[in-house]
Every structure is written in structure tokens, then in C-alpha cells.
Structure 1
Amino acid sequence: MVVFMDIVNYLRPKYVLMENVVDILKFADGFLGRYALSRLVAMNYQARLGMMVAGCYGLPQFRMRAFIWGALPSMVLPKFPLPTHDVIKPGLVPNAFSRCLVAYEETANKHLRKALVLEDAISDLPEVQNHQPNDVMEYDSDPKTEFQRYIRLSSRDMKGYSFEDATPKKGQLFDHQPLQLNNDDYERVQQIPEKKGANFRDLKGVRVGAKNTVEFNPNIPRALLSSGKPLVPDYAMSFIKGKSSKPFRRLWWDETVPTVVTRAEPHNQAILHPTQHRVLTVRENARLQGFPDYYRLFGPVKEKYIQVGNAVAVPVARALGYSLGQALRGEFVGDQPLFKLPESFSCMGQAAATGSSVGVVEA
């Protein structure tokens, strides 16, 4: 963060936009976030902090991130776009910065669209195996949801994009590949039931004791894999002192995914497909981030996951870009830190929110 702010001080751009995980507002009582704001103010920039939830802009993942706008005194400071989808969940906001959450007031007359879930995003994709070496394949069904119809559009048909040379041939699907599990993990995943909430706790020999803590059942011999290693690994039992259900957990169709990560390993996170014995593919993760299907990634599969997981979710980026454009044109008036996206602003082919009241974000 020091280097980032030093670069801003050297270049003196008209606008600054910084993104980071919300841990910068949790660690050491929010020291890192306060430092970033203070550096901008010390450099004579206007500054505004907001926490945005990706799911609030038409994605089936929660993904809360912190954003900081900066603008020179001669420029209009961009505002944060209000949500279009009803995804906000209580209890996930750093208390010291709770007024910085980009959201409607609880009493506002908001008309938000229903939150998207995993099924909305990936239910049309072909079934693939744990080992899937082909980075190009064919769709085997028509889109089933509004989200899928939008995400499968060509760059020519998708409003706001113009990468014509990236448009795949009709019917081509890129990067629908999972990170291949090793033999032991694949054998474990095959024994995870295909049901909502299933995880390593459903494996033979595990029971849940007091205070939701897992323990081995002393009446059942410890099950072994074909390799001779334990079916239930010790690291799963000890993760977060035995209180976590994330290791080898299946996602489910009616869930909003917590966040897309850079590592596609099931050891300490929920990343298994609901009904297939594998982790989510690169393409499935890309869809959760809002990347159109015509985007094609390059490099080893592990690097593709990193590229997707590190990105700002596309609908969030579009909404922030719209805000920057409005500020640059001098369209914003008043001191309110939030604004409504217009009806014509279409992401995933869905209408923007029509609520009339605004919430509060500290400047």
C-alpha cells in the first residue's frame, strides 16, 4: 500500500481507484484502510471509501471488497453505485466501518431483484470429469436462465464490449476445465454425498461432538484409501480447531457462493461441484465473476484460476466505470456519496434498482 500511494504521489492522476479485501478494514482496527485514506488526503486528494458486495450487482457470489476513490480538488469525486440485487447479509461488515457499506438504508423503498444462485450461472454447462484436458469444447444444451443467455452472448452482441477478435466460433466453450485432483483427493470426493451441505463430516468415522467440533468416532475403525492413507485427513479434522465444515464441501444449486478464490483446492474451502466429483472449473469460476464466455484465458490451469480469482467482478467494475464516466462529465450533483444506476444501465440483461432512497457512506 505504501508503494501504491507513492506511485499516486509521483503520477498525480486526476482519479485514483484502489481495491482490496475487507481485511484491510479489520486488521489492527482498520489501520491499513485508514492509512490509505490519510495518504490520499495528505496528497490533497478528495477520498471516499466504500465496501461493495459483488452479488448486489447481479452475480451468484457474495464477495465483499473495499474500494477507495480519490480525485484531485478540481475534479468531481465519483460516487458508489447502489445495489441492483438483494444480497446483503448482516454480520459480515467490519463494525468500525459499517457506515461505509454500499447499500440502501433499511427503511428505504428499494425494489431490488432477487439474488442469483449457483444454478442460475452454471446449470447449462456440459458435464466434465476430474481429468478434462481440452480447453475448447462444445455446449451441449441451450441456456436455461437470463444470466446464461447474457453470459453466452458474443462480444458483438454484448453491450459495452468490443473485442471482436476474441469472439469464439458459434458453439465453442473455453476453459471448462477443473484443476485435476490427485488420486487420494479424488477418491475422497467420490465419497462426499451429492446433497446440500455435504462435506468431510459425512465421511465414515467422523462425528460431531460438543460445540459443533468434529472428532473421530472411537467405535469405528479409521477408514483408509486405496493408497493406504486415511480417508479423513488430519488437516480437515483440525481446520479452525475442528469447527469448520468447509473441507471437501459441496456447493449447492440454491446457494450464493461466498467468493471465488485463486486456489481450486478442496482442503479448506467449499469448491466442489454439487453433483460431479470435481472442483468447479475455470469457466464456472469465471461465470461467478461475471466474465463473458467469449473471454479465453491462457497459461496453465492453476494460473487461470489465479487470473479469475484476483479480478474485480465484472459487473462491479462496469458499475464503477460508469460512476467514473459520470464524474468526469460532471454529471453528479449534491454531496450524497451514493447514486442509483439508471434504468438503461444493463448488466446481465437485468434492470437496475428503482429504489428512491440512499444510504450513507463516510467520505
Structure 2
Amino acid sequence: MRSPPLSIGLFAGAFGLDLGLEQAGFQTVSLVENEPDAVKTIALNRPHLTESAIPRDIRQVDAVTLLAEGGRVLNLSRPLHPGEVDLVTGDPPCQPFSTAGKRGSVGDPRGSLFMDFIRLIEAIQPRFFIMENVRGLLSAPIRHRSHNQRGTGFAPLEPDEKAGSALQVVLAEMRRIGYQINYGLLNAADYGVPQVRQRVIFIGSREGEAVTLPQPTHHREGLQGLPQWRTLKDALANLQEDAPEYVPYSESRLQYLRLLKAGQNWRNLPPELQPAAMGGAYHSGGGKVGFYRRLAWDEPAPTITTSPHQKATDMCHPEALRPLSIRECQAIQTFPQDWIFHGSITSKYRQIGNAVPVLLAKAIGENIYKAFSL
């Protein structure tokens, strides 16, 4: 085995997935990311990747460039060749599949940036690849038909209108370029991340190796001989902040948050105050659990979002009258405390919220790394 195995990160974001893979034993030699603050974050923390840590559109990047960058990072006198990179990773933008987005069709993945992910894997020929995406991909149709146009008197659903049709296209494209696929839904809390965050993970193997998804290291109730899920209190226990960075709440929000305790939300407000607190959302459907939500110390955090101060996805500190700070979100996403994020507070929230939790990435990487020691 060449040590360490080499990886290239596509849609690298703030490096969460790649950082976890580093902790599992891989070395990132090139990356692609289009967001200016995210690549500055990577360059600050990994100066040896400065050449590739520049904003660039993946549609304009070819494998020749990435392999040449990898050769220079390794101080070779030549570019890396196809097949010499061991792992390519990425999470193509998840918005088309997200259940948090507009309900309806997602469009054909063959017309999205997913195909640039496939294009580069086919050209780089890594032994393995990892793709991460939101759970909505498992059930999303390519084309959505309104529910009032289904059933008796209407034509049967077309293949691309059926649940899961987008997933079938994704799998077909992965197999078309010669990879055997293993995929499933993982919860980050099962791998030591103090956060409930479900994501679909795909592992592709060029040589048909049966690489499995990682076995959980934690359990909700601490059963099966595993430690219990880590909590918000666990995540923040050793965090010291003299001047936390956060987006402050307006007084109109604070007047209601002051009435709530840890683990409560808008439903715990006095009934006569709920309509005014909720506004138009009061009569809308859904659980609305994120409104005026004060987090509980003794549970994992909900999924860290890109805007923890937004009304519908509130992540108010259990005791302080503020949303979670940048460093608190960073700790919950299991980034090291010395990892530096570049940009405004809003940009830092976005980078952290979009990242793959580092410990989840490490667990996935460790399972793949085993194949290199056989």
C-alpha cells in the first residue's frame, strides 16, 4: 500500500468530509469548490492546497488539471495518472433533492452538477468514491405529478413520476462508469456526532470490492454494548468563549424566547401569546417544532442548518438568549476547535451548516481505509 492513500475532494465546501478522511488516514491532494469564503477557509488551514483552493466552477474543471495539481502537492516530477488517486469524494449540491426545498419534481439528475461528479470520477478512475446527499434523494421523483391528478380517472404514473426515480438514475450513472455501489441512510448521531443529521451515503468501488457502510459506534439508548448518543452538553462542555460570534435576535423574538426554558418551543408559550408569536405560521400545517426552539442540554442537537437564527429553524442556546454561536456550531459538527473559518458570521454559519460532520466522514473513511491494508 502506498502510504497514505490519496484523495481528491469535489464540492469540498469548508473541508468537513475531507478533514474526516484525513483523520481516517487519507491525504487530500486537490479539491474543487466554487464558494470564495470556503476555499479561503481551506487555504488558511491547509496551505499546501493553496493552488487548488481557489473558487472554480466544476463544469470548467477537467481531470488533467486535478491530477497535475496532485502531482505537484506530492512533489512529483509528473502529474498523477488515472487510477493513482485512491478516492474521490463529494456532495453535489443537494438543493434539487432536498425535502426542505420546493415540493415537486427534482428534474433529471443527468442535467445537474451530479454529472460533473460522474465525469471526473470516470476520468480520474479512483479505486473508490464517496458521495453524500440529503435523504430526500431516496424518494424523489424526477417529475412530480400533483396529488389531485392521480388515481381513478387519471393515467398511471409514468416511470419518471414514481418515487425514487431520481435515485435510479443516479445509481445507473454510477454503474455505467464501472462502479459497484453500496448506499444507505446514516444518522450522524450513531457515529459520535452530537447532532441528529441523516444523510444518504454512496460508496463506489471500481474493482467490485464489497466495502460496507460503517457500523454505528453509538446508540440512542446506549444499547448493544455501545455508548449513548452524545448530547449538546457533551459537545459544548470544554468550549470557552469570551466573545461568541452570532447573529443577535430581534426584540420581537426575544420577548417570547425569554418565556421558554431548555427543550421548549413555541407550543410551551402561554396559549394566548401563541398566535401573535407565530404570525401567519400559526394556522399552517406541519409540526413547526423549530419555531422559538430552545435546545435541550441532554439530547443531541437537531440538524445544524446554515441559518440557526431563522424563525422556522431556531436553534436558541438552552440558557443564553441567543442562537448557537459559530464555535458552538463548529463543535456540534465535530470540526476541531483550531479550525479557522473565513468570512462574515453569515458566511461561517453557511459553511458549517453545509458541511459533512467530521466524525461521520472519519467513520466512513476508516471503513474504506481497511481495504488498503489487506
Are 2:194 and 1:81 equivalent residues in the alignment? no
Preserved contact between residue 14 and residue 72 of structure 1 (Cα < 8 Å): yes
Could you list the per-position Cα deviations for residues 9-47 of structure 1 after superposition, in whole angstroms to 9, with x for gaps in the alignment? 333332211000111002222223222221111111111
Matches within 5 A, 1:310-321: 310-321=354-365
Q: Which residue of 1 aligns with 2:260?
A: 193
Shift of 1:263: 1.2
Query: 1:243 & 1:312 partners in 2: Cα distance?
Result: 26
Indicate which of 123, 137, 150 corresponds to 1:10: 123
Are 2:230 and 1:116 equivalent residues in the alignment? yes
Are 2:335 and 1:291 equivalent residues in the alignment? yes
Query: 2:369 & 2:334 partners in 1: Cα distance?
Result: 21
Q: What SS does the corresponding residue of 1:67 show, helix, strand or coil?
A: strand
Indicate which of 232, 235, 248 corresponds to 1:180: 248
Are 2:319 and 1:256 equivalent residues in the alignment? no
Shift of 1:200: 5.8
What's the C-alpha RMSD, in Å, of the aligned pairs?
2.5
Are 2:315 and 1:271 equivalent residues in the alignment? yes
C-alpha spacing 1:124/1:9, structure 2 compared with 1 (3 Å): closer
Q: Which residue of 2 aligns with 1:32?
A: 166
Query: 1:279 & 1:4 partners in 2: Cα distance?
Result: 35
Q: Which residue of 1 aligns with 2:62?
A: none
Query: 2:283 & 2:120 partners in 1: Cα distance?
Result: 42
* Identical positions, percent: 26
Preserved contact between residue 231 and residue 301 of structure 2 (Cα < 8 Å): yes
Could you list the per-position Cα deviations for residues 88-109 of structure 1 after superposition, in whole angstroms to 9, with x for gaps in the alignment? 89xxxxxxxxxxxxxxxxxxx9
Query: 1:195 & 1:320 partners in 2: Cα distance?
Result: 33
Shift of 1:299: 0.5
Shift of 1:123: 4.0
Q: Which residue of 2 aligns with 1:69?
A: 203
Shift of 1:288: 0.9
Q: Which residue of 2 aligns with 1:226?
A: none
User: Which AA in structure 2 matches 1:37?
Assistant: L
User: Which AA in structure 2 matches 1:31?
Assistant: S
Shift of 1:114: 1.2
Are 2:277 and 1:232 equivalent residues in the alignment? yes
C-alpha spacing 1:117/1:23, structure 2 compared with 1 (3 Å): same
C-alpha spacing 1:236/1:35, structure 2 compared with 1 (3 Å): same
User: Which AA in structure 2 matches 1:18?
Assistant: M
What stretches of structure 2 of length at least 5 have no aligned partner? 1-113, 142-162
Q: Number of residue pairs matched?
A: 240
Matches within 5 A, 1:123-134: 123-126=237-240
TM-score, length of structure 1 as denominator length: 0.60
Query: 2:330 & 2:221 partners in 1: Cα distance?
Result: 22
Preserved contact between residue 69 and residue 77 of structure 1 (Cα < 8 Å): no
Shift of 1:276: 1.1
Could you list the per-position Cα deviations for residues 63-98 of structure 1 after superposition, in whole angstroms to 9, with x for gaps in the alignment? 11111111212x634322101100389xxxxxxxxx
Could you list the per-position Cα deviations for residues 217-272 of structure 1 after superposition, in whole angstroms to 9, with x for gaps in the alignment? xxxxxxxxxxxxxx524244145x26423211111111222211111224112411
Preserved contact between residue 305 and residue 313 of structure 2 (Cα < 8 Å): no
User: Which AA in structure 2 matches 1:59?
Assistant: V
Q: What SS does the corresponding residue of 1:324 show, helix, strand or coil?
A: helix
Query: 2:312 & 2:190 partners in 1: Cα distance?
Result: 26
C-alpha spacing 1:278/1:254, structure 2 compared with 1 (3 Å): same
Q: Which of the pair is proportionally richer in helix?
A: 2
Query: 1:67 & 1:253 partners in 2: Cα distance?
Result: 29
C-alpha spacing 1:44/1:297, structure 2 compared with 1 (3 Å): same
User: Which AA in structure 1 matches 2:136?
Assistant: D
Q: Which moved more, 1:46-55 or 1:28-37?
A: 28-37
Q: What SS does the corresponding residue of 2:132 show, helix, strand or coil?
A: strand
User: Which AA in structure 2 matches 1:111?
Assistant: G
User: Which AA in structure 2 matches 1:234?
Assistant: G
C-alpha spacing 1:195/1:314, structure 2 compared with 1 (3 Å): closer
Preserved contact between residue 292 and residue 314 of structure 2 (Cα < 8 Å): yes
Q: What SS does the corresponding residue of 2:277 show, helix, strand or coil?
A: coil
TM-score, length of structure 2 as denominator length: 0.58
Query: 1:13 & 1:125 partners in 2: Cα distance?
Result: 39
Shift of 1:326: 1.4
Query: 2:218 & 2:287 partners in 1: Cα distance?
Result: 31
C-alpha spacing 1:263/1:250, structure 2 compared with 1 (3 Å): same
C-alpha spacing 1:88/1:80, structure 2 compared with 1 (3 Å): farther
